[in-house]
């Protein structure tokens, strides 16, 4: 007998302890295999059940500590192991961070996300970041940080400072992970997500596509995210931004429709999560971005820079929102 998703839905063995459906990789892959319009239609239906389809959340990113990272993530401009021409910088002074946060707020971002090129923060690194979180929050912005792996106790300190979200991506399928990163493991990432969840901070976790992974591996990444004990509140889907000097520069570009399929699969499997159209927008047409919103993306990075690469100009995004009748939240 072929296992349709309907038969699996009725089988209690496929339910999580929470009663939530557990997605097999094969089921997620079956979503990817649907005719494009069937998939996008299904994703729109799920999207409309859970969200206002014309509202998009906007987060602004800032790199507070750039370059010189010990890790070997094959896509990253900030790894000390690759010659990407990036200048290594010290932790940004808080005044400069706040200046950027005020500008982001004035432009209409609702969340400010601060990223550091660390394997993880040393305890002494954390103190100034806690101060940034407290001060950015006072400006009336939601706060997010992405600092790498957290040691015991660090998530609680971030929670006490009032941090709203911690970003920590699973990045790719468990089977592909070792081909992209060897200095830490998928299990390390899962452990940090546990720490963040237990501290009561909202989880932001997603991944990157376009790194030469197979469709089955894209499906495995989505299944892994959807099957977390609690799905992430926010799921960034990044399209690889190729950085000259990194091992992944020169990876074959992903079919843009496959990117849209990935967004749709995330929307269907994580119906109540914000799915973020993340890195790679600068290389996408506005029509392709509109298709991503139609497939259930309802969040994006807003502002002219990501961490070390360009993002579309904010004014251009404002015009796109007007043309599509989108409202920012």
The 18-57 site mask, x for binding ligand DTB (CB under 6 A), equals ----------------------------------------
Residue 120 CB partners (closer than 8 Å, separation 6+): 147, 148, 149, 150, 151, 154, 192
Q: Residue 184 CB, nearest distance to ligand SAM (Å)?
A: 9
71 part of the interface to ligand SF4, by CB under 6 A: yes
**Residue 200: half-sphere exposure toward Cβ, Cα within 13 Å:** 6
Give phi and psi for 280, each to the nearest 5. Answer: 105, -5
Geometric angle at alpha carbon 117, from 233 and 311, rounded to 5°? 65
Q: How far is the CB of 9 from ligand DTB (least distance, A)?
A: 30
Strand locations in the chain, DSSP E? 55-65, 111-116, 142-146, 165-167, 202-204, 207-209, 234-239, 274-277, 299-301, 327-328
Q: Report the residue from 22, 309, 324, 328 that binds ligand DTB according to the rule CB under 6 A.
A: 309
Write down the least CB distance from residue 72 to ligand SF4, Å: 7
Note if 204 is an active site residue.
yes
Rounded Cα distance, 141 and 83, in Å: 35
- Is 69 a residue of the active site? yes
**Binding range to ligand DTB, per CB under 6 A, among 46-54, 102-110, 236-244, 262-270:** 236-244
Q: Which is nearer to ligand SAM, 50 or 81 (CB)?
A: 81
Catalytic residue among 42, 58, 189, 276: 276
Catalytic site includes residue 292: no
**How many residues sit in the footprint of ligand DTB (CB under 6 A)?**
16
In this chain, which stretch among 1-9, 38-46, 163-171, 289-297 interacts with ligand SAM, using CB under 6 A? 163-171
How far apart CA 152 and CA 268 sit, in angstroms, is: 33
Name 103's bridge partners: none
Q: Which of 25, 113, 241, 297 binds ligand SAM (CB under 6 A)?
A: 241
Set 58, 76, 157, 261: catalytic member: 76
């Amino acid at each position: 007998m072929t296992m349709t998703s309907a038969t699996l839905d009725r089988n209690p063995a496929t339910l999580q302890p929470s009663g939530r459906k557990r997605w097999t990789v094969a089921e997620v892959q079956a979503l990817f295999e649907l005719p494009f319009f069937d998939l996008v239609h299904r994703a729109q239906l799920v999207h409309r059940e859970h969200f206002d389809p014309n509202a998009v959340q906007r987060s602004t990113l800032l790199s507070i500590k750039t370059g010189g990272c010990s890790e070997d993530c094959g896509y990253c401009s900030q790894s000390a192991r690759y010659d990407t021409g990036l200048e290594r910088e010290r932790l940004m002074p808080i005044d400069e961070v706040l200046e950027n946060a005020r500008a982001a707020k004035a432009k209409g971002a609702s969340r400010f996300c601060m990223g550091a090129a660390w394997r993880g923060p040393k305890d002494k690194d954390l103190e100034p970041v806690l101060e940034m979180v407290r001060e950015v929050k006072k400006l009336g912005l939601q706060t997010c940080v992405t600092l790498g792996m957290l040691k015991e106790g660090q998530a609680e300190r971030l929670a006490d400072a009032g941090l709203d979200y911690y970003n920590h991506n699973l990045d790719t399928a468990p089977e592909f992970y070792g081909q992209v990163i060897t200095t830490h493991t998928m299990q390390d990432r899962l452990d940090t997500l546990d720490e963040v969840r237990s501290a009561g901070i909202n989880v932001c976790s997603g991944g990157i596509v376009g790194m030469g992974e197979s469709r089955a591996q894209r499906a495995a990444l989505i299944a892994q995210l959807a099957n977390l004990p609690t799905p992430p509140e926010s799921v960034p889907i990044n399209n690889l931004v190729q950085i000259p000097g990194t091992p992944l520069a020169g990876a074959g570009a992903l079919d843009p429709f496959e990117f849209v399929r990935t967004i749709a699969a995330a929307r269907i499997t994580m119906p109540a999560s914000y799915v973020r159209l993340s890195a790679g927008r600068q290389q996408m047409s506005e029509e392709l971005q509109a298709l991503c919103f139609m497939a259930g993306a309802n969040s994006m990075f807003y502002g002219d820079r990501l961490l070390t690469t360009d993002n579309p100009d904010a004014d251009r995004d404002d015009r796109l929102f007007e043309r599509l009748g989108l409202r920012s939240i």
